[in-house]
Amino acid sequence: MEYLPNIAFAIALIVGIGFFVRNVKKLSRNIKLGKDVDVSDNKPQRWKNMAKIALGQTKMVVRPIAGLLHIIVYVGFIIINIEVLEIILDGLLGTHRIFAPLGSIYNFLIGAFEVLALMVIVAVVVFWIRRNIIRIQRFIKPEMKGWPKKDGNLILYIELVLMALFLTMNAADFQLQQLGAEHYAKAGAFPVSQFIAPLLQGLSESSLIMVERTAWWIHILGILAFLNYLYYSKHLHILLAFPNTYYGKIRPQGQFNNLASVTKEVKLMMDPSADPFAAPTEDDSAEPEKFGASDVTDLNWVQLLNAYTCTECGRCTSECPANQTGKKLSPRKIMMDTRDRLEEVGKIIDANKGEFVPDGKQLLGDYISHEELWACTTCNACVEACPVSIDPLSIIVEMRRYLVMEQSAAPTELNNMMSNIENNGAPWPYNQMDRLNWVNE
């Protein structure tokens, strides 16, 4: 019986981590459904991007209020959870505040954690007000209805509850230390929870122990549950922001991934000295099986990683000129749709023993409409605005490529323009010989 709590704790830990590993495997399998892409270039630049953007949060502070609040929650959440290490060791070994022998360092750490916990609570409340009372535009766009809205709020509630439990646990501990209770030796500094402690005054020692233990257990079980909730939430970005910023686009913003076979065709068309009978080079012969993308499995794995990393912050959509002028396009929705479809494909694979059985659906048409795709001006504002290096434009371009090259389904204006370029070497419907006629007009 003496070891029952330790055994229960070990089981909770194994189950929590076991489910988390299962989710990570599923995530990795789904991302690998994407096509291969070479991202082994310029490693120093990639590491620098990750340190600056994911760790240093440099793109978050472009919007100072949200950026600062986010940094508080991010730093607070990461640092306070260092305490989780102590909780895990205490839980497994049956000790209480195992790091207490660190003395003044320990006191400083616990004090700092409490101040951070308070700051996180304040930041979370402000975030909640921005979403639900002030109703900032980018949080109430059509794609944010239903689960995305619930998810955003749920995360705030979970963070609030975890921080409150941490402070309650410390307040009860502080009271028990004052009473000189057995196992509750004086350790730690409680600059915040000492003000909660008076609320517990008058409780017997056993009731205080009950409060402290309950808060301790719910706190750690809550963290394990949160770890497993990540997979189903936009909060997955707290893990994926790091690989995503590493593998993010490093070539110049306006540079597209031209297809070698198409480039060759264009060169032949535009360059009178090109030899149309020249033997194909290795590059030319590498013609893709399918041009562009109509479903998630046609995208590359970095684009799929992008989809899982999206925080649904809406910074891209709020900068998008198409969205600002009332068009149907929202780059955030492009990423959310890609992730939803990828999840759907993953579930079909799970249900069919590892095989994908066509379900008659695809990303193009069933999730993302032609209207959305053709509303894009390819301005790159969404890519520039994204705080975690996501590139919605690359997905839009791939799907347009499919429409144009596989389906010949470009809008009439575009088809006319492309025919003109092909026939006249210019987008206008005039013969090349007539180009200078305007001089005589």
Binders of ligand SF4 in range 381-400 (CB under 6 A)? 381-382, 385-386, 388, 390, 392-393
- Nearest alpha-carbon partner for 230 in 111, 311, 313: 311
352 or 378: CB nearest ligand SF4? 378
What part of residues 329-348 is at the interface with ligand SF4 (CB under 6 A)?
329, 331-332, 335
35 backbone φψ class: left, alpha, beta (φ>0; ψ -120 to 50): beta
Q: Which stretch binds ligand SF4 (CB under 6 A): 79-87, 197-205, 380-388, 405-413?
A: 380-388
**Helix or strand run (H / E) with residue 69:** helix 64-80
Query: Distance between CA atoms of 237 and 242, rounded to whole angstroms?
Result: 8
User: By C-alpha distance, which of 150, 146, 143, 155 is closest to 335?
Assistant: 143
> Least distance from C-beta 234 to ligand SF4, angstroms?
8
User: Smallest distance from the beta carbon of 379 to ligand SF4, in angstroms?
Assistant: 4
* Alpha-carbon torsion, ordered 277, 289, 310, 41, to 10 deg: -50
Q: What's the closest the beta carbon of residue 370 comes to ligand SF4, in angstroms?
A: 14
Q: Given the structure tokens 């110049």, which residue do they identify?
A: 252
- Segment near ligand SF4 (CB under 6 A), from 62-70, 88-96, 188-196, 306-314? 306-314
Nearer to ligand SF4, 192 or 334 (CB): 334
54 lies in the site for ligand SF4, by CB under 6 A: no
When asked if residue 310 is in the footprint of ligand SF4 (CB under 6 A), the reply is yes
What angle in degrees, to the nearest 10, is found between the helix axes of 147-179 and 64-80? 50
DSSP calls for 145-198: SSHHHHHHHHHHHHHHHHHHHHHHHHHHHHHHHHHT-TT--S----TTGGGTGG
Comparing CB distances to ligand SF4, the nearer of 171 and 299 is 299
Binder to ligand SF4 among 352, 378, 415, 437 (CB under 6 A)? 378
Question: 333-346 burial, b if ≥16 CB within 10 A, otherwise e?
Answer: bbbbbbbbbbbbbb
Determine the size of the site formed for ligand SF4 (CB under 6 A): 28
Smallest gap from Cβ 73 to ligand SF4, in A, equals 16
Q: How far is the CB of 330 from ligand SF4 (least distance, A)?
A: 8
The answer to whether 94 contacts ligand SF4 (rule: CB under 6 A) is no
CA torsion sign for 123, 124, 125, 129 is positive
- Assess 313 for contact with ligand SF4 (CB under 6 A): yes
Please give the Cα distance from 304 to 356 (Å, whole number): 17
User: Which CB sits closer to ligand SF4, 101 or 142?
Assistant: 142
Q: Which of 131, 315, 341, 401 binds ligand SF4 (CB under 6 A)?
A: 315
| Helix ranges (DSSP H) in 280-391 | 282-285, 301-309, 315-319, 321-324, 331-351, 363-366, 370-374, 381-385
Q: Is 58 in the site for ligand SF4 (CB under 6 A)?
A: no
Q: Site for ligand SF4 (CB under 6 A): which residue of 311, 338, 362, 394?
A: 311
Contact status, residue 321 vs residue 379, Cβ threshold 8 Å: yes
CB of 57 to ligand SF4, least distance (A): 13
Closest to ligand SF4 by CB, 169 or 385 = 385
Q: Site residues (CB under 6 A) for ligand SF4?
A: 310-316, 319-322, 329, 331-332, 335, 376-382, 385-386, 388, 390, 392-393
